[in-house]
């Protein structure tokens, strides 16, 4: 059995956002293609958490949906425990898909408001034909409710009778119902209060240790990512610009974008260090800049950055970085992040 549970290689997804064919013919307009994900590669060892961070629109959630099979990749492979999902039909994927589940961002929209909680949690058990006996299914549902900190009596209620944090616990129980090895967590705490976020994150960490789960964690909250992650991938406009262990990234970020992101964190130590805000807007992904996509906002950009797209290469710290400034040793010209 391989130590790598998930391996993503050169993953890409392009959406056709063109106007209708007749409009394009009459107006002489070309097709418009949006590269939501453009050549992303990473791997996650068993029992660890890999997090994707970045501004809204960078492609994090699209990667999550590609991994769980909600989208088909335009290019690349998604290998789970040695099985390439991208090369399989829906029928061939079925045994592998039982190993993975997803926790969605909105804990209310992801639950059927017409179903009782026990039916919601039992759905994966029935869909994957794990159990057929009603008594055994109910026993498993009660066990899952206890596991996430709820009462078995809550199974008879509807989702609207719970708070946001309790609804997310129900979503986690449903995700665990098929006994998965891998969970994709798409901003699972962003819709919750701060105190409730901490409870849900601690629950997820406890479940990971207890059940040996592997997480792909999507978030834009750097404090949450630091608490949850073993490894972090920083995304910008559909590409990974830096991949590093969590502690290394926060202690010594290499890519200018990573540094600017970390500068948005409060300086609790009151060091008085000059902080550089993330200037400008994320470029239009339909018409991205030439060369490095970050160069219009980068304080270290030069002519090479505008012409040549950087490739991902190991940096001095052992992290993987796609940046000409890091490669040329110019990154020290920028103030370091805390």
In this structure, the dihedral spanned by the alpha carbons of residues 86, 6, 64 and 170, taken in order and rounded to 10 degrees, is 120
Query: Which CATH number fits the domain 1-99+187-229, given the four candidates 3.40.605.10, 3.40.50.11710, 3.40.50.300, 3.40.50.12280?
Result: 3.40.50.300
Q: What is the pLDDT of residue 275?
A: 61
Helix (H) or strand (E) holding 317: none
Print pLDDT tens along the chain (338 aa).
569 999 999 999 999 988 888 888 888 888 889 999 999 999 999 999 999 999 888 899 999 999 998 899 999 999 998 888 878 877 888 888 888 999 988 888 889 999 999 999 999 999 888 988 999 999 999 999 999 999 999 999 999 999 989 999 999 999 999 999 999 999 998 878 888 899 999 999 999 999 999 999 999 888 889 989 999 999 999 999 999 999 999 988 999 999 888 887 766 555 555 666 666 778 888 888 999 999 998 988 899 999 999 999 998 777 999 999 998 888 776 654 44
308 CA to centre of own chain: 28
Q: What is the pLDDT of residue 234?
A: 95
Q: Which residues contact 217 (CB under 8 A, 6 or more apart)?
A: 49, 50, 51, 52, 185, 225, 228, 229
Enter the DSSP assignment of 181.
Answer: S
> Rounded distance, CA 67 to CA 184, Å?
8
> Rounded distance, CA 148 to CA 199, Å?
11
Residue 73 main-chain phi, psi, to 5 deg: -70, 145
Q: What is the pLDDT of residue 167?
A: 94
| Plot region of 187 (φ>0 → left; ψ -120 to 50 → alpha; else → beta) | left
**Is residue 318 classed as helix, strand or coil in its secondary structure?**
coil
CB 144 within 8 A of CB 177: yes
214 CA to centre of own chain: 13
C-beta neighbour count of 308 within 10 angstroms: 12
Beta strands at 231-236 and 214-218: parallel, antiparallel or unpaired: unpaired
Q: What are the boundaries of each domain within the chain?
A: 1-99+187-229, 109-179, 253-338
């Amino acid at each position: 059995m391989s130590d790598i549970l998930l391996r993503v290689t050169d993953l890409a997804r392009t959406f056709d956002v063109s106007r209708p064919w007749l409009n394009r013919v009459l107006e002489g307009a070309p097709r418009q293609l949006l590269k939501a994900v453009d050549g992303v590669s990473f791997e996650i060892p068993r029992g660890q958490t890999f997090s994707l961070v970045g501004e809204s629109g960078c492609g994090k959630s699209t990667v999550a949906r590609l991994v769980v099979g909600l989208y088909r990749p335009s290019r690349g492979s998604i290998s789970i425990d040695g099985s390439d999902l991208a090369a399989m039909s829906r029928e061939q994927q079925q045994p592998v898909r039982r190993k993975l589940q997803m926790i969605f961002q909105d804990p209310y929209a992801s639950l059927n408001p017409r179903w009782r909680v026990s039916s919601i949690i039992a759905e994966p058990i029935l869909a994957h034909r794990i159990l057929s006996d009603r008594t055994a299914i109910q026993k498993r549902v009660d066990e899952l409710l206890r596991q996430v900190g709820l009462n078995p009596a809550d199974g008879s209620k509807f989702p609207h009778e719970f708070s946001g944090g309790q609804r997310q616990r129900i979503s986690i129980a449903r995700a665990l119902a098929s006994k998965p090895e891998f969970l994709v967590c798409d901003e699972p705490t962003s819709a919750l209060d701060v105190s409730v976020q901490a409870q849900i994150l601690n629950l997820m960490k406890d479940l990971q240790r207890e059940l040996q789960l592997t997480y792909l964690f999507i978030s834009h909250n750097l404090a949450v990512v630091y608490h949850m992650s073993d490894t972090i991938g920083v995304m910008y406009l559909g590409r990974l610009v830096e991949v590093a262990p969590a502690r290394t990234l926060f202690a010594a970020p290499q890519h200018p974008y990573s540094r600017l992101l970390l500068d948005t964190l409060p300086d609790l130590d009151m060091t008085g260090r000059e902080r550089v805000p993330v200037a400008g807007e994320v470029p239009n992904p339909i018409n991205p800049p030439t060369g490095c996509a970050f160069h219009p906002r980068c304080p270290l950009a030069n002519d090479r950055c505008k012409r040549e797209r950087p490739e991902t290469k190991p940096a001095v710290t052992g992290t993987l970085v796609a940046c000409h400034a890091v490669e040329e040793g110019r990154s020290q010209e920028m103030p370091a992040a805390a």
